[in-house]
């Protein structure tokens, strides 16, 4: 049973995206422009992401904490580059009750300043280092054109902030974080990414280096999935964060910061979903298995068997029983729109035949199996296979879109085709700005390749190779 409310990708990819979001019950809009209500289904995807990352954070010695939402505007003016980067995007509290306040409160666009304040008060000597913290929170940025999960005035993220006693440790940890993001996004979200440094122009305001993981969506637009910044002493100098080093001298700390956000949910949708609805990677799916019972109201055997199967599989997976009196077609299509990896249909006939019909979301295939074969072990293997197949399909999309170009004409053509263009680059920040304005393409990350070539834009020799694409 096809869901007519879902727009076809080929007709209008943007409309398809928003139709998936509403049909799969992910989002309801808030009352203020650019704000969203996370319905239980999307919030549960986000909390699954949190749980997985938290387990890695624990292994890495990252401790969770919580910073205040309000930051005095005056504090923002301390880090020039930082404020430059954020000024136009700030929400400001200027009234308390009916009273106006002198120094407005900025609603955090990020908590760099608060972490710096914290570090300055909690670090005395090298014994206190490294101090590696993280916060899961809502952050706020004014957005002209908002889009669920991708651009919202309020969104959720994790921001990890670490302070170290030397450059190497800080830089190593910066890389450790971007590698964790790559692993997480590829293994758990089944989305292949390109990993690399940002160009100076695309770098985070206040960072010496920004590392990024970039994915390509089904429409050929890139999506930045996570970033890790090496801040060196830029913030510690501005916020006077000193520690006494082993030779008893006061030294400014070396910092990093890194984060991923609810944008990841947008990446999941645009990487895997199809014209029939959402497709969720098994490892973060709120419901991994939906048991559609048929005539459960009439057949006590069916009702009991569903309960039994659910109890058994629930030991390891998120299982949901649908024993409403809706038609089987309706039940299947609900499960399909919601992107549930595996649906199992169970009716009186199936029990007679001792067989079950399994329906797989990722390739819409169907399989009839003996009841006894459908156990935890089978489901586990199947879900792993589904993850691999989702990744493989997304990887094919990425690979076929990576195109090397050497002329501006080729560049323009491939960008408009929705490709991930790799090219030698020796342009200035000005050039990059101009290129973005004229072609809509931005540099996503620097390639590891080191051989020399000629910049397609300036014609100069260079050994810098950069990936460009239109991006969300």
Site for a second copy, rule CB under 8 A: 28, 30-32, 35-40, 43-44, 46-47, 63-72, 75, 87-97, 104-105, 107, 113-114, 117-118, 121-122, 133, 138, 140, 142, 153-154, 156
Give 25 or 179: the residue with its C-beta nearer to a second copy: 25
Give 114 or 441: the residue with its C-beta nearer to a second copy: 114
Q: Which residue has the tokens 């239109």?
A: 470
DSSP string across 451-462: --EE-TTT--EE
Distance (Å, whole) CA 194 – CA 292:
39
DSSP 199: P
Give 32 or 300: the residue with its C-beta nearer to a second copy: 32
CB of 257 to a second copy, least distance (A): 16
Distance (Å, whole) CA 180 – CA 183:
5
First and final CA of the chain: distance in angstroms?
32
Give 94 or 428: the residue with its C-beta nearer to a second copy: 94
CB of 86 to a second copy, least distance (A): 10
Give the other-Cβ count within 10 Å of 378's Cβ. 14
Element (H, E) at 346: strand 342-346
Distance (Å, whole) CA 268 – CA 339:
11
Distance (Å, whole) CA 139 – CA 111:
8
Distance (Å, whole) CA 469 – CA 472:
10
Strand 442-446 and strand 465-469: the pairing is antiparallel
Give the other-Cβ count within 10 Å of 243's Cβ. 23
CB of 136 to a second copy, least distance (A): 10
Give 38 or 472: the residue with its C-beta nearer to a second copy: 38
Distance of CA 306 to the CA centre of its chain: 35
Give 29 or 167: the residue with its C-beta nearer to a second copy: 29
Give 154 or 322: the residue with its C-beta nearer to a second copy: 154
With beta carbons less than 8 A apart as the criterion, state whether 455 and 435 touch. Answer: no
CB of 247 to a second copy, least distance (A): 20
Distance of CA 421 to the CA centre of its chain: 22
CA dist list (Å): 420 to 190, 192, 306, 386, 451: 19, 13, 47, 26, 19
Give 325 or 375: the residue with its C-beta nearer to a second copy: 325
CB of 242 to a second copy, least distance (A): 17
């Amino acid at each position: 049973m096809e869901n007519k409310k879902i727009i076809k990708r080929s007709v209008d990819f943007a409309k398809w995206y928003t139709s998936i979001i509403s049909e799969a019950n992910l989002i309801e809009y808030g009352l203020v422009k650019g704000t969203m209500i996370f319905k239980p289904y999307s919030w549960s995807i986000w909390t699954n992401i949190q749980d997985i990352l938290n387990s890695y954070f624990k292994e890495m010695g990252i401790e969770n904490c919580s910073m205040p939402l309000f930051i005095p505007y005056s504090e923002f003016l301390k880090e020039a580059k930082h404020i430059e980067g954020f000024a136009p995007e700030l929400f400001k509290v200027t009234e308390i009750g009916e009273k106006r306040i002198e120094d407005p409160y900025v609603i955090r666009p990020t908590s760099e300043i608060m972490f710096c304040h914290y570090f300055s008060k909690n670090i005395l000597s090298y014994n206190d280092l490294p101090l590696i913290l993280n916060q899961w929170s809502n952050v706020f940025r004014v957005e002209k054109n908002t889009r669920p999960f991708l651009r919202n005035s309020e969104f959720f993220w994790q921001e990890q902030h670490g302070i170290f006693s030397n450059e190497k440790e800080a830089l190593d940890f910066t890389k450790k974080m971007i590698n964790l993001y790559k692993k997480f996004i590829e293994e758990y979200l089944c989305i292949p990414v390109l990993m690399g440094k940002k160009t100076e122009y695309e770098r985070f305001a206040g960072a010496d280096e920004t590392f990024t993981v970039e994915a390509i969506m089904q429409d050929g637009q890139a999506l930045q999935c996570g970033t890790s910044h090496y801040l060196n002493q830029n913030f510690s100098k501005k916020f006077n964060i000193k520690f006494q080093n082993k030779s008893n001298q006061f030294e400014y700390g070396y910092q990093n910061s890194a984060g991923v956000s609810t944008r990841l949910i947008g990446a999941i949708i645009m990487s895997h979903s199809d014209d029939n609805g959402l497709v969720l990677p098994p490892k973060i799916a709120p419901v991994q298995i939906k048991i559609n019972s048929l005539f459960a109201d009439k057949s006590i055997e069916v009702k009991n068997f569903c309960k039994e199967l659910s109890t058994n599989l629930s030991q390891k997976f998120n299982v949901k029983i649908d024993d409403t009196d809706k038609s089987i077609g309706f039940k299947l299509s609900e499960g399909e729109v919601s992107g549930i990896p595996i649906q199992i249909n169970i009716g009186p006939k199936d029990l007679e035949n001792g067989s079950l019909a399994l329906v797989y979301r990722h390739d819409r295939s169907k399989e009839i199996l003996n009841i006894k074969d459908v156990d935890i072990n089978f489901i586990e293997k199947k879900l792993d296979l589904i993850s691999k197949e989702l990744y493989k399909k997304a990887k094919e999309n990425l690979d076929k879109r990576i195109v090397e170009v050497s002329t501006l004409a080729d560049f323009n053509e491939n960008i408009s085709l929705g490709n991930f263009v790799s090219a030698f680059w020796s342009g200035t920040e000005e050039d990059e700005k101009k290129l973005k304005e004229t072609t809509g393409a931005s540099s996503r990350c620097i390639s590891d390749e080191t051989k020399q070539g000629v910049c397609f834009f300036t014609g100069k020799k260079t050994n810098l190779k950069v990936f460009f694409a239109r991006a969300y």
